[in-house]
């Protein structure tokens, strides 16, 4: 018998999509029965109360969670978010119901052994409710009490070789696509780079020293499956410099509509779009018009290719990215708070992704940017906003990167150039009396 | 319940302390076919909605069955995922960025038993536990934020609006009939921890009333200068006021007509709550993308200024979303993303074919970037 009546939430149990309400109810029952005899370290009925408080929000149209409090584990400034219910008398099981962020493995592959260890810990010391995963990428453990925080951290680090993730004004847990582990488009090993930088910058991740949050995300090709260009202060997007690799025989298999060569790898299978037409679907849609197909021969003017991936996505058995691979780095993406949304702006058109020298070319860019942002950034100013305030040219200066036409969509439309004194012959100090000798007052 | 110690000694927090060890290394968790063929994949094919085969240069194959997952997930449900992974996938499983779950097997004959097992599992309330789909030119899972389940700033619920929407568009989760992929994202307030601003369709929670002022507590709980500085439109200034008992307290005053309801002040000062039953609701945005394919990545545009919170299933919201999807599906060319289609036909036609009202709220008036969105041309459609 449920502790609280939830007539509104009950209506979210029907329909085909997995119901989080059914899952929570099931969880509440499992905890109530406790067939495994767990000595729950937080209230056994917390999931009942979680459903109860959510139902109240559905009734009121308002949240019933208070502002986070300052809780955490010793020595870290992130990884735990305090959460308290604003109706503790009605829902005592969730009066204190803090979140812990657990740093996820790159690529989000798991063994069941690992997952079960996390679950066992979380059933004992928390609500058993999780997010797989949070928006930034962490495993989110949703709901425990203050005395359990250190206990959970101790067990994570001592028994599971596992650390917390980031929150607050620090490096947030970096996240990546699955990259070369299972994708032929990958231009670099996004997991290796993500894992390396996560470990390299553990101090920045755990101890807030930044003006505000800072996010890294890693897309191994321009298709951008983890949306790094929209949601990370520094976005690392795989690309290549040389020619797209072409298998002409395979191109012709696509042209002949060979069933072993479905266009778009079969992504449009459930509607009849007619037979594949290379002219209409590839050549004419190429954004730079740099392709042609004549006499069974596909030609690409690679010098004019902008590597949008369309032709490769459309004929994946025939075309592959080039061999000289690396990544582009874009900076400053963020959601609208405060000065409006930004996407990442291209800073480094191409950089090698080289694990053999600990990705030196990349860490150098990162550290130059951090030095500038930590020095000049205002409280709660994201990198994108600092770039807006001080100018993209300043970003080039601090990173020592030479301006190039690749940095802009088009050159400026106003002539208000902030010339520097040293750029103008003779400098700015002049003698007005000398001037007046030739120009009467 | 008796307290069980982990071994941690609160009197000596630094004793045996382990810190800064980071996440587990990714390759500890690779299925063997992945470990063997990493970096040597030749090509892939989506065999049917939710089922993908990747073929390695070695000739090895990995079959992935993708299922929709709730981001909000209990250990009971995770245990079931583990049981399936143990039974079919040698104890391995993967999650995607969009909260899907991927079960991988290394030969074709293992696919049907896995699919049948997944499809047979139903929640007691009738919904599917592991619906197969979310690939190709269809609608995959909605990435979303926390909502009323666990956050202090939301203007709507996240899990509920997502469940309501996915139920309505479920057919397109299990099919690939659209002109291109269509990504829906959900953020329950303007903080957008889900960063939905570049999605084909974005569901966004929004407040419409300026903050209330809890004068009696404001100066005790908040740093007044931080609250003032938090306001992007400089609508907040320091003030003094007399409480009912005659005591004068320091507080703030808000110029309400300058408030854009972002809630940034509330983030800095808990004595300035915005949440309101009538004031809060949903903004719909459309036409964004993050991929560089064919066209550049682009921002989503506000296409519905406000929809009231209508729990538990937000029917006006799902109705507007379905109208957009249907008009897009009928009108767009193959490969055209929703935003590319809207730009080709013109946004004036977009509102017509989607049967959405246009109102003054949809014309940008936020800072100089607003100008870029007005029409500086005589080219338009009647």
Measured between alpha carbons, how far is B370 from A333 in angstroms, rounded to an integer? 19
Answer whether B48's CB lies under 8 Å from A189's CB.
Answer: no
- B111 vs chain A: nearest CA distance in angstroms? 18
Check CB contact of B133 with chain A, cutoff 8 Å: no
List of chain B residues whose C-beta atoms are within 8 Å of the C-beta of residue A267: 46, 135-137, 176, 181
Answer whether B68's CB lies under 8 Å from A148's CB.
Answer: no
Answer whether A43's CB lies under 8 Å from A93's CB.
Answer: yes
User: Both tokens of residue B241?
Assistant: 């006021």
Closest residue in chain A to residue B76, using alpha carbons only:
A27
Measured between alpha carbons, how far is B45 from A261 in angstroms, rounded to an integer? 9
Cα-Cα-Cα-Cα dihedral sign, residues B2, B7, B12, B13: negative
Note the pLDDT of residue A230. Answer: 95
Closest residue in chain A to residue B260, using alpha carbons only:
A338
User: Both tokens of residue B117?
Assistant: 């097992």
- A436 vs chain B: nearest CA distance in angstroms? 41
Closest to B13 in 3D by CA, of A76, A167, A171:
A76
Contacts 24+ apart (CB under 8 A), A280-283: A281/A314, A281/B334, A281/B335, A282/A310, A282/A311, A282/A314, A282/A315
- A398 vs chain B: nearest CA distance in angstroms? 26
Measured between alpha carbons, how far is B165 from B321 in angstroms, rounded to an integer? 8
User: Both tokens of residue A244?
Assistant: 């797209």
List of chain A residues whose C-beta atoms are within 8 Å of the C-beta of residue B16: 158
Give the model confidence (pLDDT) of A152-204 as tens digits.
999 999 999 999 999 999 999 999 999 999 999 999 999 999 999 999 999 99
Answer whether A224's CB lies under 8 Å from B290's CB.
Answer: yes
Closest residue in chain B to residue A200, using alpha carbons only:
B22
Measured between alpha carbons, how far is A380 from B265 in angstroms, rounded to an integer? 12
Least confident interval from B51-60, B187-196, B346-355? B187-196
Length of chain B: 382
State what percent of residues in chain B have pLDDT above 70.
Answer: 100
Closest to A10 in 3D by CA, of A54, A49, A71:
A54
Answer whether B23's CB lies under 8 Å from A161's CB.
Answer: no
Query: Could you tell me which residues come within 8 angstroms of residue A431 by beta carbon, excluding any fewer than 6 positions away?
Result: none
**Contact A105/B28, CB-based, under 8 Å?**
yes
Taking chain A, what is the end-to-end CA distance rounded to the nearest angstrom? 95
Check pLDDT > 90 for residue B45.
yes
- ω into residue A133 within 30 of 0, thus cis? yes
Average pLDDT over residues A398-425: 96
Measured between alpha carbons, how far is A401 from B314 in angstroms, rounded to an integer? 50
Check CB contact of A241 with chain B, cutoff 8 Å: no
Most B CBs within 10 A among A40, A62, A281, hence the mutation to make, goes to: A62
Answer whether A351's CB lies under 8 Å from A361's CB.
Answer: yes
pLDDT confidence tier of residue A436, bands split at 50, 70 and 90: very high
List of chain A residues whose C-beta atoms are within 8 Å of the C-beta of residue B151: 63, 65
**Contact A136/B193, CB-based, under 8 Å?**
yes
Out of A22, A103, A229, closest to residue B290 by CB: A229
Average pLDDT over residues B43-67: 98
List of chain B residues whose C-beta atoms are within 8 Å of the C-beta of residue A313: 293
Quote the mean pLDDT of chain B: 96
3-state SS record for A376-406: HCCCCCCHHHHHHHHCHHHHHHHHCCCCCHH
pTM passes above 0.95: yes
Check pLDDT > 90 for residue B62.
yes
List of chain B residues whose C-beta atoms are within 8 Å of the C-beta of residue A132: 69, 71, 73, 78, 95, 99, 101
**Contact B38/A75, CB-based, under 8 Å?**
no
Note the pLDDT of residue A70. Answer: 83
- B350 vs chain A: nearest CA distance in angstroms? 22
**β-pair partners for B382:** none
Average pLDDT over residues B72-83: 98
Helical spans, DSSP H, in A137-281 = 146-159, 190-200, 202-206, 228-231, 248-255, 278
Closest residue in chain A to residue B154, using alpha carbons only:
A63
Helical spans, DSSP H, in chain B = 32-37, 75-88, 111-120, 159-168, 170-173, 215-221, 224-230, 264-268, 315-331, 338-345, 347-354
Check pLDDT > 80 for residue B368.
no
Length of chain A: 441
Would you call A402 exposed, middle or buried from its count of C-beta atoms within 10 A (0-12, 13-18, 19+)? exposed
Average pLDDT over residues A354-375: 98
Answer whether A11's CB lies under 8 Å from A21's CB.
Answer: no
Out of A15, A61, A155, closest to residue B127 by CB: A15
**Contact A58/B148, CB-based, under 8 Å?**
yes
Check CB contact of A288 with chain B, cutoff 8 Å: no
List of chain A residues whose C-beta atoms are within 8 Å of the C-beta of residue B366: 340
- A223 vs chain B: nearest CA distance in angstroms? 5
pLDDT confidence tier of residue B304, bands split at 50, 70 and 90: very high
Query: Could you tell me which residues come within 8 angstroms of residue B37 by beta carbon, excluding any fewer than 6 positions away?
Result: B56, B57, B58, B60, B62
Question: What residues 312-341 of chain A have any CB closer than 8 A to a CB of chain B?
Answer: 313, 316-317, 333-341
| Measured CA angle at B224 (ends B206, A379), to 5 deg | 75
Note the pLDDT of residue A90. Answer: 98
Closest residue in chain A to residue B268, using alpha carbons only:
A67
Answer whether A149's CB lies under 8 Å from A71's CB.
Answer: yes
Check pLDDT > 80 for residue B355.
yes
In angstroms, how far is CA A68 from the centroid of its own chain?
23
Check CB contact of A200 with chain B, cutoff 8 Å: no
Out of B6, B95, B123, closest to residue A133 by CB: B95
| Measured CA angle at B209 (ends B207, B210), to 5 deg | 110
Check CB contact of B181 with chain A, cutoff 8 Å: yes
Give the model confidence (pLDDT) of B213-254 as tens digits.
999 999 999 999 999 999 989 999 999 999 999 999 999 999
**Contact B176/A281, CB-based, under 8 Å?**
no
Check CB contact of B365 with chain A, cutoff 8 Å: no
Average pLDDT over residues B18-32: 98
Q: For A282, which DSSP code?
A: I
Note the pLDDT of residue A338. Answer: 77
- A387 vs chain B: nearest CA distance in angstroms? 16
A233: left (phi over 0), alpha (psi -120 to 50) or beta: alpha
- A196 vs chain B: nearest CA distance in angstroms? 10
Most B CBs within 10 A among A9, A20, A154, A410, hence the mutation to make, goes to: A20
User: Both tokens of residue B17?
Assistant: 């302390």
Check CB contact of A441 with chain B, cutoff 8 Å: no
pLDDT confidence tier of residue B100, bands split at 50, 70 and 90: very high
A317: left (phi over 0), alpha (psi -120 to 50) or beta: alpha
Check CB contact of B59 with chain A, cutoff 8 Å: no
Note the pLDDT of residue B360. Answer: 97
State what percent of residues in chain B have pLDDT above 90.
Answer: 95
Question: Helix A20-33 and helix B159-168: axis angle, to 10°?
Answer: 120
Give the model confidence (pLDDT) of A260-300 as tens digits.
999 999 999 999 999 999 999 999 999 999 999 999 999 99
Check CB contact of A15 with chain B, cutoff 8 Å: yes
A51-78 exposure pattern, b = at least 16 Cβ within 10 A, e = fewer:
bbbbbbbbeebbbbbbbbeebbbeebbb
Note the pLDDT of residue B314. Answer: 98
Check pLDDT > 90 for residue B98.
yes
pLDDT confidence tier of residue A418, bands split at 50, 70 and 90: very high
Closest to A9 in 3D by CA, of B280, B147, B268:
B147
Q: List phi, psi (to 5°) of A118.
A: -65, -45
The torsion of the CA quartet A311, A316, A318, A324, rounded to 10 degrees, works out to 80
Question: What residues 311-350 of chain B have any CB closer than 8 A to a CB of chain A?
Answer: 311-313, 334-335
- Name the strand (E) or helix (H) holding A361: helix A360-376
Question: Helix A383-390 and helix A392-399: axis angle, to 10°?
Answer: 110
**Contact B176/A271, CB-based, under 8 Å?**
yes
Most B CBs within 10 A among A268, A320, A330, A389, hence the mutation to make, goes to: A268
**Contact A103/B30, CB-based, under 8 Å?**
no
Check pLDDT > 80 for residue A409.
yes
Considering only CA atoms, give the Rg of chain A. 28
State the DSSP string of A416-427.
Answer: -----GGGSTT-
**Contact A62/B26, CB-based, under 8 Å?**
no
Cα-Cα-Cα-Cα dihedral sign, residues A143, A144, A150, A156: negative
Most A CBs within 10 A among B5, B14, B26, hence the mutation to make, goes to: B26
Give the model confidence (pLDDT) of A213-225 as tens digits.
999 999 999 999 9
Answer whether A98's CB lies under 8 Å from A146's CB.
Answer: yes
- Name the strand (E) or helix (H) holding A438: helix A432-438
Give the model confidence (pLDDT) of B103-148 as tens digits.
999 999 999 999 999 999 999 999 999 999 999 999 999 999 999 9
Average pLDDT over residues A400-421: 96
pLDDT confidence tier of residue A350, bands split at 50, 70 and 90: very high
Answer whether B45's CB lies under 8 Å from A127's CB.
Answer: no
Note the pLDDT of residue B191. Answer: 82
Average pLDDT over residues B177-184: 98
**Contact A336/B192, CB-based, under 8 Å?**
yes
Question: How far from B249 is each of B193, B215, B223, B245, CA to CA, in Å?
Answer: 35, 7, 14, 11
Check pLDDT > 80 for residue B194.
no
Check CB contact of B227 with chain A, cutoff 8 Å: no
- Name the strand (E) or helix (H) holding A125: helix A112-125
Measured between alpha carbons, how far is A215 from A330 in angstroms, rounded to an integer? 12
In angstroms, how far is CA B199 from the centroid of its own chain?
9
Check pLDDT > 80 for residue B1.
no
Average pLDDT over residues A116-136: 97
Q: List phi, psi (to 5°) of A346.
A: -65, 120
In angstroms, how far is CA A142 from the centroid of its own chain?
21
Out of B93, B262, B293, closest to residue A310 by CB: B293
List of chain A residues whose C-beta atoms are within 8 Å of the C-beta of residue B68: 17-18
**Contact B232/A50, CB-based, under 8 Å?**
no
List of chain B residues whose C-beta atoms are within 8 Å of the C-beta of residue A17: 68, 127-128, 131, 163, 166-167, 170, 173
Helical spans, DSSP H, in B90-200 = 111-120, 159-168, 170-173
User: Both tokens of residue B316?
Assistant: 């006006």
Considering only CA atoms, give the Rg of chain B. 25
Helical spans, DSSP H, in B155-252 = 159-168, 170-173, 215-221, 224-230
**Contact A183/B20, CB-based, under 8 Å?**
no
């Amino acid at each position: 018998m449920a502790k609280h009546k939830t007539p509104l939430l009950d209506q979210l149990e029907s329909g085909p999509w997995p119901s989080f309400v059914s899952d929570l109810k099931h969880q509440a029952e499992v905890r109530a029965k406790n067939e495994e005899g767990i000595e729950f370290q937080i209230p056994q009925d917390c999931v009942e109360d979680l459903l109860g408080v959510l139902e109240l929000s559905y009734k009121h149209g308002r949240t019933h969670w208070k502002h986070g409090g300052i809780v955490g584990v010793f020595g870290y400034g992130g990884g735990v978010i305090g959460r308290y219910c604003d109706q503790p008398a009605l829902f005592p099981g969730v009066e204190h119901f803090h979140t812990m962020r657990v740093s996820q493995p790159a690529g989000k592959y798991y063994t069941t052994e690992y997952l079960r260890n996390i679950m066992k810990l979380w059933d004992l010391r928390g609500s058993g409710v999780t997010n797989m995963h949070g928006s930034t990428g962490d495993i989110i453990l949703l709901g425990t009490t203050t005395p359990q925080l250190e206990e959970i951290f101790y067990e994570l680090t001592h028994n599971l070789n596992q650390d917390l993730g980031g929150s607050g004004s620090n490096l947030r847990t970096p996240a990546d696509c699955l990259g070369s582990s299972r994708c032929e488009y990958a231009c670099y090993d996004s997991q290796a780079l993500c894992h390396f930088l996560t470990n390299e910058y553990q101090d920045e991740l755990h101890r807030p020293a930044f003006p505000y949050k800072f996010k890294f995300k890693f897309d191994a090709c321009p298709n951008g499956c983890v949306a790094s260009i929209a949601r990370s202060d520094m976005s690392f997007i795989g690309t290549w410099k040389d020619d797209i690799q072409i298998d002409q025989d395979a191109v012709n298999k696509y042209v002949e509509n060979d069933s072993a060569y479905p266009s778009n790898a079969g992504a449009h299978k459930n509607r009849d779009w007619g037979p594949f037409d290379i002219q209409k679907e590839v050549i004419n849609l190429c954004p730079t018009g740099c392709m042609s197909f004549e006499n069974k021969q596909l030609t690409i003017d690679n010098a004019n290719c902008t590597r949008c991936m369309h032709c490769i996505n459309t004929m994946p058995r025939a075309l592959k990215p080039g061999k000289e691979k690396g990544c582009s780095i874009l900076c400053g993406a963020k959601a609208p708070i405060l000065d409006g949304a930004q996407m990442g702006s291209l800073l480094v058109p191409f950089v090698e992704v080289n694990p053999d020298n600990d990705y030196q070319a990349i860490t150098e860019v990162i550290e130059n940017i951090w030095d500038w942002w930590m020095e000049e950034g205002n409280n709660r100013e994201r990198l994108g906003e600092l770039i807006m305030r001080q100018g993209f040219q300043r970003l080039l200066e601090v990173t020592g990167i030479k301006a190039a036409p690749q940095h802009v969509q088009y050159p400026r439309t106003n002539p208000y150039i902030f010339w520097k004194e040293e750029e103008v012959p003779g400098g700015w100090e002049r003698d007005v009396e000398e001037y007046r000798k030739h120009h009467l007052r | 319940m008796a307290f069980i110690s982990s071994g941690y000694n609160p009197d000596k927090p630094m004793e045996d302390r382990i810190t800064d060890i980071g996440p587990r290394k990714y390759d500890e968790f690779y299925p063997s076919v992945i470990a063997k063929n990493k970096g040597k994949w030749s090509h892939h094919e989506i065999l049917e909605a939710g089922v993908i085969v990747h073929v390695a240069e070695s000739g090895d194959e990995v079959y992935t069955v993708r299922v929709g997952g709730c981001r909000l997930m209990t250990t009971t449900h995770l245990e079931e995922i583990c049981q399936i992974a143990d039974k079919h996938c040698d104890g391995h499983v993967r999650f995607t960025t969009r909260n899907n779950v991927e079960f991988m097997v290394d030969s074709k004959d293992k696919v049907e038993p896995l699919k049948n097992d997944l499809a047979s599992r139903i929640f007691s309330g009738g919904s599917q536990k592991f619906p197969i789909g979310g690939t190709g030119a269809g609608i995959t899972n909605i990435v979303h934020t926390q909502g009323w389940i666990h956050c202090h700033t939301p203007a709507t619920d996240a899990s509920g609006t997502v469940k309501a929407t996915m139920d309505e568009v479920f057919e397109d989760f299990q099919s690939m009939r659209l002109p291109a992929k269509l990504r829906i994202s959900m953020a329950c307030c303007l903080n957008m921890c889900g960063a939905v601003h570049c999605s084909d369709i974005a569901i966004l929670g929004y407040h419409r009333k300026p903050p209330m002022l809890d004068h009696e507590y404001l100066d005790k709980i908040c740093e007044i200068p931080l609250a003032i500085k938090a306001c992007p439109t400089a609508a907040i200034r320091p003030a003094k006021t007399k409480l009912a008992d005659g005591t004068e307290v320091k507080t703030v005053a808000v110029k309400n007509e300058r408030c854009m309801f972002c809630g940034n002040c509330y983030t800095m000062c808990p004595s300035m709550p915005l949440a309101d039953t009538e004031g809060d609701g949903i903004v719909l945005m459309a036409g964004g993308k993050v991929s560089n394919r064919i066209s550049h990545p682009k921002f989503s545009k506000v296409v519905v200024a406000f929809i009231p919170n209508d729990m538990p299933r937000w029917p006006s919201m799902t109705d507007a979303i379905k109208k957009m999807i249907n008009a897009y599906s009928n009108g767009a060319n193959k490969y055209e993303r929703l935003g590319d289609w809207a730009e080709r036909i013109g946004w004036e036609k977009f509102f017509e074919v989607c049967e959405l009202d246009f109102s003054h709220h949809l014309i940008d008036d936020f800072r100089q970037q607003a100008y870029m969105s007005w029409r500086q041309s005589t080219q338009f459609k009647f």
